[in-house]
Structure 1
Amino acid sequence: MTSRAAVNGIEIAYETFGRPGDRPLLLIMGLGSQMILWDEELCEMFAARGHHVVRFDNRDVGLSTHLDGTPVPDLAAVAAGTAAPPYTLEDMAEDAAGLIDALGWDSAHVVGASMGGMIAQVLAIAHPGKVRTLTSIMSTTGPNVGQPTEAAMGALMRPPVQDREAAVESALAVWSVIGSPGYPMDPEKIARTAALAYDRAYDPAGSTRQLLAIFAAEDRTQALGRLSIPALVIHGEADPLVQLSGGKATAEAIPGARLITFPGMGHDLPRPLWERIVDEVSALTAAA
């Protein structure tokens, strides 16, 4: 069941798994991706390991507030610093902080994937008291490391589609480029998820606004170096969208962080790795 919370001047849609008394676990998804990319089975696995799990739609995707009508400046201008994005990763981190408060949690174990990892890092920097542990998956410290391959960037910048069928075809094309070469792709699952995402809310302009927030972000290395919370960094060794240097830089920046890399893992969460990922995150949260 989807719930909604008024936070930071917008509305955030979220769903929960597990028992309210268990360890609070906040899952933050990446660029243009709705909370349904945190697979229900994966969420239930976290819940079975003693977590009260919350997944949510970031602003501008899914059932959360879309900033319709907000001007979208030129990507190159934002990247060059000559234009400001409609909002920043800091604003998105404040959304997450507000959701933690709205849930009645004093703090949470935070797991972010891709752009969600960036948001999780910013959340920990801005609100260290709200983050019990930090897990950054397939993410990076900023624009200087983890740059995408040309093919991955091409997949990311595919033009908007016009209908549901085209959205499914586009998703299959994108995941064939950025997905895990060491694990079999599941076209049927990708198609189902893409169709559901299209039905929930298809908004390419919202995804572009999120991308502008990434383009405008500064390097977080020094700020991450001031953290004093338990941290885990997970990265695929075959990730073409955020290459492995991004994960290595994140682990090097956070004092005491543990780095786990998986051969054959690209820019997704392959089903055969779920148990190991749940084990590692659960060990971190249980020990904190």
Structure 2
Amino acid sequence: MPKATANGIEIHYEETGNPADPAMLLIMGFGAQLTLWPDELVERLASHGFRVIRYDNRDIGLSQKFDGVKAPGLIKLTLMSKIGLTPKVPYTLADMADDGAGLLDALGIDKAHIVGASMGGMIAQHLVHRHADRCLSLTSVFSTSGNPKLPPARPEAMKALVTRPDSTDEDVLVDHGVMLARTIGSPGYPTAEDRLRDRTRASIRRSFYPEGPTRHLSAIVADGDRRPMLRDIAVPTLVLHGEDDPLVPCEGGRDTAACIPGAKLKTIRGWGHDLPLELVDEVADAIAGHARTATG
């Protein structure tokens, strides 16, 4: 897989589609590798006439790791945020947004459509705010505004997300990954067991790096309330969210759309916090249709 130096660090990425087509940058979420974007979704976007680029965020997958850099614990981060203090973290979501802009630079891309899922949606929000001249459109997928008054994740979803597996035995890691996927996934579109286990095993064999998500989480918590920033976003925006998302409740998507001037909102019943095959066409068509409209 190709790699590039972006924002001073090494980023691994993949491209699909015609290099002459308009670029679309896909940013994945917390602790997730680029492979969590289903190939079927990427290929569908490319078939709509886009040069689709997905990449591993820093500290995950095959991109550069920040070994030995300590992050504050979740309890400390939460307490500091509640009393209005900004904790010192290894890096911020804004830094991660600059990674995305740096990747566009490395690939010689002047402007791109930006699509982010979950934490990737938060990074995408920063990217279009910090580098508006580089962004043709924004699609924020099951992400949120950082509004502290929004409903939190369901307890079982948050527990599954932050709990580490009991050992590093591959079968234990697969079982843990399947449990997490089932807990936060789409109740209306459950993934077939064999596909889920195969994808989880392939992800673990590609890269297993549990320290990265700890630093990702510290960046999320330290980021706080993005609503003032969202109100300044001027690029055409689409917000996609599942009505049955247990990790980032749909109110997060609604609030994001309400804060960004002119944003459009599309919610889907039965959709949770994943990208099931049954929704690939609908989600890809919505993203591609928005991107085409944004560029006239």
TM-score by length of 2: 0.94
Which residue number corresponds to residue 280 of structure 1? 286
Q: Is the aligned partner of 1:16 residue 2:22?
A: no
Q: Is the aligned partner of 1:103 residue 2:102?
A: no
Q: Deviations over 1:193-243 (max 9, x none)?
A: 211221121111111110111111121112111121111000000001000
Mean CA deviation greater in 80-89 or 128-137: 80-89
* 2:121 aligned to which of 117, 138, 145: 117
Which residue number corresponds to residue 96 of structure 2? 92
Which residue number corresponds to residue 59 of structure 2? 60
- Measured in 1, the distance between the counterparts of 2:21 and 2:142 equals 26
TM-score by length of 1: 0.97
- Measured in 2, the distance between the counterparts of 1:186 and 1:115 equals 25
User: How many angstroms does 1:72 deviate by?
Assistant: 2.8
Answer whether contact 2:121 2:140 (CA < 8 A) is retained.
yes
Mean CA deviation greater in 233-242 or 211-220: 211-220
Q: Which amino acid aligns with 2:284?
A: V
Q: Which amino acid aligns with 1:200?
A: R
- Measured in 2, the distance between the counterparts of 1:201 and 1:221 equals 34
Runs of 4+ deviating beyond 6 Å: none
Mean CA deviation greater in 272-281 or 24-33: 272-281
Answer whether contact 1:125 1:227 (CA < 8 A) is retained.
yes
User: How many angstroms does 1:184 deviate by?
Assistant: 2.5
User: How many angstroms does 1:78 deviate by?
Assistant: 2.2
Q: Which amino acid aligns with 1:203?
A: Y
Unaligned runs of 5+ in 1: none
* 2:268 aligned to which of 259, 262, 274: 262
SS state at 1:235 partner: strand
Which residue number corresponds to residue 223 of structure 2? 217
Q: Which amino acid aligns with 1:87?
A: Y
Q: Which amino acid aligns with 1:117?
A: G
Distance 1:87 1:226, change over 3 A: same
User: How many angstroms does 1:146 deviate by?
Assistant: 4.9
Q: Is the aligned partner of 1:249 residue 2:248?
A: no
Q: Is the aligned partner of 1:155 residue 2:154?
A: no
Q: Is the aligned partner of 1:183 residue 2:201?
A: no
SS state at 2:51 partner: strand
Q: Deviations over 1:116-169 (max 9, x none)?
A: 000000111111111110000000011522520111111111124412111110
Unaligned runs of 5+ in 2: none
Q: Is the aligned partner of 1:128 residue 2:146?
A: no
RMSD between aligned residues = 1.2
SS state at 1:112 partner: strand
Which residue number corresponds to residue 72 of structure 1? 71
User: How many angstroms does 1:79 deviate by?
Assistant: 2.5
Q: Which amino acid aligns with 1:86?
A: P
Q: Which amino acid aligns with 1:51?
A: F
Equivalent pairs, count: 287
Q: Is the aligned partner of 1:197 residue 2:196?
A: no
Q: Deviations over 1:237-264 (max 9, x none)?
A: 0001000110000000111111000001
